[in-house]
Amino acid sequence: MQIVACQMDIAWENKPANYERARAMLGGAQVEPGALVVLPEMFATGFSMNVAATAEPEGGPTERFLATLAKEYQCFVMGGVTTQALHGRGRNEAIIHGPEGILLARYAKLHPFSFAGEDKYFEPGRGIELFEWHDFRVSPLVCYDLRFPEAFRQAARQGAELLTVIANWPQPRESHWLALLRARAIENQAYVVGVNRVGDDPHVHYGGHSLILGPRGETLAEGGTDPQVLVADVQLQTLVDYRQKFPALSDIRPDFFPT
């Protein structure tokens, strides 16, 4: 099955411009029906704390845009959106639509990035989400979640075979991004798709280097520092065979690490 990762340069707080950028990137790619298309965290606005300007109700314009893309390409589309929470705060979410344009899953980032003050403006999510993509069980996570392996382990213990990380990950900590993505794939014997942005916002430079990794941590596709579309094929049987051949997950100690 085909993974399509869109490493975008995001226009700051400009939703129409970013919709067009995403559409143009997909228009230049050969997206197969049934593919999983992944756009970055907050792809429509950039990593903005201006919740009043960026947040939408559920079913808002960004969600409708993603649903339209999914129907047009007859594929599964994941992207980051800011939705409205209580008391003026937002939720940093990954949402997924299927080929009929129907919402399949809505995941809120478990770990707001307190180093940048995200915790002051966004409420944390409350749990892992999974959705079905063909025969795969997929768990979406967001950016700073990558530093918390227990979230990924919980997803794997709930049956996830593919873990996605949509991000606005700054270039100064790029080495951490690359190392942690590979670690999450190796320790969970899972496919991992990390989709970062490139370019600049008013505060930070982003270096891209999106990755699609196999369950041994092997590189299936890697981005550079420019906007680009990464494509890779993933096979569930490859993962199943590897987990059976080297059944490390069966040695998890649930008495030390409860679900």
> Locate tokens 């478990």: which residue?
110
Closest among 111, 113, 179, 166 to 138, alpha carbons compared: 166
- What is the DSSP code (8-state) at residue 11? P
Assign 146 to helix, strand or coil: helix
CB within 8 Å of 107: residues ≥ 6 apart: 93, 94, 95, 125, 128, 129, 139, 140, 141, 142
Query: Annotated catalytic, 15?
Result: no
Give the active site residue among 15, 56, 75, 143: 143
> Locate tokens 């209580």: which residue?
86
Give the active site residue among 6, 41, 63, 161: 41
Q: What is the CA radius of gyration of the chain?
A: 17
Q: How far apart are CA 182 and CA 33, in angstroms?
A: 28
Query: Annotated catalytic, 6?
Result: no
CB within 8 Å of 137: residues ≥ 6 apart: 130, 131, 158, 159, 160, 161, 162
> Locate tokens 């942005």: which residue?
197
For 229, other C-beta atoms within 10 Å of its C-beta total: 19
- What is the DSSP code (8-state) at residue 60? -
Query: Annotated catalytic, 100?
Result: no
Give the active site residue among 109, 118, 129, 161: 109
Q: How far apart are CA 150 and CA 71, in angstroms?
A: 34
List active site positions. 41, 109, 143
